Amino acid sequence: MAIAAHPGDAFFAMGAPVALETSQGAPGVFFSLSLGERGSASIPPARYGVMQREAAERAATMLGAQTAFLTWPDGEVPVNEEVKFAVCDLIRRYKPAIVVTHWKGSWHKDHQACFAIVTDAIFYAALPSIARKDPAHNVSKTFYADNWEDADGFRADTYLDITPVFDRWMEACALFPMWKGENGFRYNDYYRSLAVERGCLSGSRYAVALMSPAEQLVRHVESL
């Protein structure tokens, strides 16, 4: 499950790991806390939000995944218990083994909010003593995505070879109106080039870099 502040983040920064999992037969979900409706300087927010949602649904279908949305206003995603439990409920409903989300070191307030929300939502989702509609579910692994807006303190510790799904992932991302730089940032050039660079560092053709929570990297061994 990719959990992002906006649909574009879910697919551009987090889409390749989900695409790789679905290509191997696992279920995948792209989950956005808002529709990113204020992301265009020329298209009214109401219309742009519809375009973002439609693009996400089409892209998810292309990658063999599902979509889920909350509709908090773009730029105003709150950090409160209501949102945390809404995310908790969706984690319990879809039961992901792995969650990919935003790193906290971001200049974008919605991304910072998403990090805080998801951290607590995963904790709540795993507690049987918290009674909700669905039973408790423990997320096995969490990763933070390599997002150009979340670069402060991001330290890659995992490189994932996405070569088998690279072309399909690029095609899915291209369904979004902002992909080719319409809003001022050339997402297509950035994420394509980044996949090449990460591939060079990891010995594959195309790769994405991920960051793990510190506690996830602890190893328990009996000998070296």
Instruction: Give the torsion sign (CA, 205, 206, 211, 215).
Output: negative
Residues 83-87: contacts with CB under 8 Å, at least 24 apart: 83/33, 83/117, 84/117, 84/120, 84/121, 84/124, 85/121, 85/124, 85/132, 87/3, 87/31, 87/33, 87/117, 87/118, 87/121
**Position 183 confidence tier, pLDDT thresholds 50, 70, 90:** confident
Could you read off the pLDDT of 35-48 as tens digits, one per residue?
999 999 899 999 99
User: In this predicted structure, what is the pLDDT of residue 181?
Assistant: 85
CATH number of 2-211: 3.40.50.10320
What is the C-alpha separation between 189 and 118, in angstroms, rounded? 29
- For every residue of 130-183, DSSP letters joined together read S--SS------EEEEE--TTS-TT----EEEE-GGGHHHHHHHHTTSTTTTSTT
Give the integer Cα–Cα distance in Å for 30 and 58: 11
SS3 125: helix
pLDDT of 5 reads 98
124-135 pLDDT, tens digit each: 999 999 999 999
- In the chain, domain spans: 2-211
Comparing 223 with 3, the larger pLDDT belongs to 3
Mean pLDDT in the chain?
97
Q: Report, as an integer, the average pLDDT of 70-92.
A: 98
- pLDDT at 159 (0 to 100): 98
Alpha-carbon torsion angle 9, 41, 50, 85, nearest 10: 50
Q: 11-22 pLDDT, tens per residue? A: 999 999 999 999
> Of 123, 101, 129, which Cα lies nearest the Cα of 6?
101
Is residue 224 over pLDDT 90? no
State residue 8 phi and psi, 5-degree precision.
-60, -40
Quick check: 23 pLDDT over 90? Answer: yes
Please report which confidence band the pLDDT of residue 182 belongs to, taking 50, 70 and 90 as the band edges.
confident
At residue 220, does pLDDT exceed 90?
Answer: no
Q: Which residues contact 155 (CB under 8 A, 6 or more apart)?
A: 211
Measured distance CA(56)–CA(71) in Å, rounded:
14
> Is pLDDT of 223 > 90?
no
Q: Is the pTM of this model over 0.75?
A: yes
All residues at 6 or more sequence positions from 23 whose CB lies less than 8 Å from its CB, including other chains: 64, 164, 165, 168
First-to-last C-alpha distance (Å) of the chain = 34
